[in-house]
Structure 1
Amino acid sequence: MLKGNFFRGLGYLGEGFQLIRQPGLRLFVIIPLVINVFLFVALFYFMALGFDALIAMVMAWLPDWNWLQALDWLFWILYGAVILLMLAYGFVIVANLIGSPFYGYLAELTEKHLTGQEISTDDSWAAIIKDIPRALWRELQKIGYYLPRALVLFVIGLVPVVNLVAALLWFLFNCWMMALQYVDYPADNHRVSFPALRQTLAETRLSALGFGLPVALLAMVPVVNLVVVPAAVCGASAYWVRENGSTIR
C-alpha cells in the first residue's frame, strides 16, 4: 500500500519558490542560475547550429523543387519539438552536474532557515570546492540509477499497444526521479547514502510523487526550467524537514 500524502507533496515546490526569495538564500540561488543561463544559451545555440547544418544537408539531397525546398520551415518546427524534449531532462541533468556543490549548500542553508538548527557541515567556500568530487560522484550515482530503468522503459515503448502504458510509466518514473534528484541534496548533507534515501522515499512514495510531479512538468518549460532547479532544491529541503528526514539513518 502506498504511503504518504500526494497533495502535501504537491505543495513543496511552491514553498521552494517562496524560499528562494529569502535574502540569506539568494546568493546560492543566483550563482547556479547564472551558470545555468550560460549553459542553456550555449546548448541551444550549438544545437541550433548543428540542426541548421543538418537541414542544409537534407535540403541539398532533395530535388530542386520549390515546394520541397520550402519544407525547411517544417524541419524547424520539428527542431523546436525536439529541443523542448531534449532540454527538459538533459538540461536538468547537466545543470545538476555543474551546480551540485552549490545546491548542496543551498539545501543546507534552507534547512537552517526552516529549523533554526545548525547542520554539522563546514560552510566555507573552501569546503564547497573540496566537496565538488563527492557531489559529482553523487550525481553520477543518480544517473547510473536512471539510465538502465530509462532504457527498459524505452524498449517497452517500442512494443505496440504496450507503449500506451509505457507513456504513463515514463511520466511516473520521471516524477519519482525528480523527487530522488532533489531530496538527495539535503540527504547528502546528512551523509545519508543514496540507497538509504531511495528506501525512505519509497516508504512515503505518494508524497515523493506529489513533489516530483510539478518539478517534472516545469522542467519541460524552457526558461522556467532555469528557475525551477533552485526552487526544487529548497522545496526538497522543506520535504526533508517535514516528511521523514528525521527517520533516515
Structure 2
Amino acid sequence: MLKGNFFRGLGYLGEGFRLIRQPGLRLFVLIPLVINIVLFGLFFYFLAEAFTVLIATVMGWLPDWQWLQALDWLFWILYGGVILLMLAYGFVIVANLIGSPFYGYLAELTEKHLTGQEVSTEEGWAAIIRDIPRALWREVQKILYYLPRAIGLIIIGLIPVVNLVAALLWFLFNSWMMALQYVDYPADNHKVSFKALRRLLGDTRLSAFGFGLPVALAAMVPVLNLVVVPAAVCGATAYWVRENGATRQ
C-alpha cells in the first residue's frame, strides 16, 4: 500500500521558492545560480552551433527545390524540442554535479532555518571544500542508479503495444528521480546512505511523487530550470524535516 500524501508533497517546491528568499540562504542560492546560468549559456551556444551545421549538411543533401529548402524552419522546431528534453535532465545532472557541494550546505542552512538546530559543527567555505569528494560521489551514485533503469525504459519503448505505457513510466520514473535527487542533500548531511534514502522515500512514496512531479515539470521550462534547482533543494529539506527526517534515523 502506498503511503504518504501526494498533495502535501506538491506543496514542498512552493515552500522551497519561499525559502530561497530568506536572507541567510541567498548567498548559497546565488552562487550555484550563477554557475547554472553560465552552464546554460555554454550548453545552448554549442548545441545551437552543432545543430546549425547539421541543418546545413542535411539541406545540402536535399534536391535544390525551393519548397524543400524552406523546410529549415521545421528543423529548428525539432531543435527546440530536443533542447527542451535535454535541458530537462541532462542540464540538471551536469548542474548538480558542479553545484553539489553548495547544495549540500544550502540544505544544511535550510534545515537549521526550519528547525533551529545545527546539523554539523563545521560551517562556511571550509565545510563546502571538505565535502566536495563526498558530494561528487553521491552524484555519481545517483547517475549509476538512473542509467540502467533509463535504458530499461528505452527498451520498453521499442516493444510494440507495451510501448504505449512507456511515456507514463518515464513520467513516473523522472518524478521519483527528482525526489531522490534533491532529498539526498539533507539525507547526506545526516550521513544516511543512498540505499537507506531510497527505503525512506519508499515509506512516503506518494509524498515523494508529489514533490518530484512539479520539479520534473519545472526542469523542462527554460529559464525556470535555472532557479528550480536551489528551490528544489530547500523544498526537499522541508520534505526531509517533515516527512522522514532525523527522527526516523
- Taking structure 2 as the reference length, the TM-score comes to 0.98
Shift, 1:247, TM fit: 4.1
SS of 2:51's equivalent? helix
- Partner amino acid, structure 1, of 2:43: L
Which range moved further: 207-216 or 62-71? Answer: 62-71
5+ unaligned residues in a row in structure 1: which ranges?
none
5+ unaligned residues in a row in structure 2: which ranges?
none
Match of 1:65 in 2: 65
Runs of 4+ deviating beyond 3 Å: none
Which aligned pairs between 1:188-227 and structure 2 lie closer than 5 A?
188-227=188-227
Shift, 1:248, TM fit: 3.9
Does the alignment pair 1:89 with 2:89?
A: yes
What is the rounded CA distance, in whole Å, between the counterparts of 1:232 and 1:220 in structure 2?
A: 14
Shift, 1:121, TM fit: 4.4
What is the rounded CA distance, in whole Å, between the counterparts of 2:246 and 2:208 in structure 1?
A: 16
Matched length:
249
- Partner amino acid, structure 2, of 1:82: V
Shift, 1:76, TM fit: 0.6
8 Å Cα contact 2:190-2:246 kept in structure 1: no
Shift, 1:120, TM fit: 1.9
- Taking structure 1 as the reference length, the TM-score comes to 0.98
- Partner amino acid, structure 2, of 1:89: Y
Shift, 1:50, TM fit: 0.2
Shift, 1:131, TM fit: 1.1
Note the alpha carbon deviations across 1:153-194, whole angstroms, 9 max, x for none. 110011122111111111001000000000000000001000
What is the rounded CA distance, in whole Å, between the counterparts of 1:248 and 1:104 in structure 2?
A: 20
- Partner amino acid, structure 2, of 1:166: A
Match of 1:54 in 2: 54
- Partner amino acid, structure 1, of 2:215: V
Match of 1:169 in 2: 169
What is the rounded CA distance, in whole Å, between the counterparts of 1:164 and 1:11 in structure 2?
A: 30
- Partner amino acid, structure 2, of 1:7: F
The percent identity for this pair of structures is: 83
What is the alpha-carbon root mean square deviation over aligned residues? Answer: 0.9
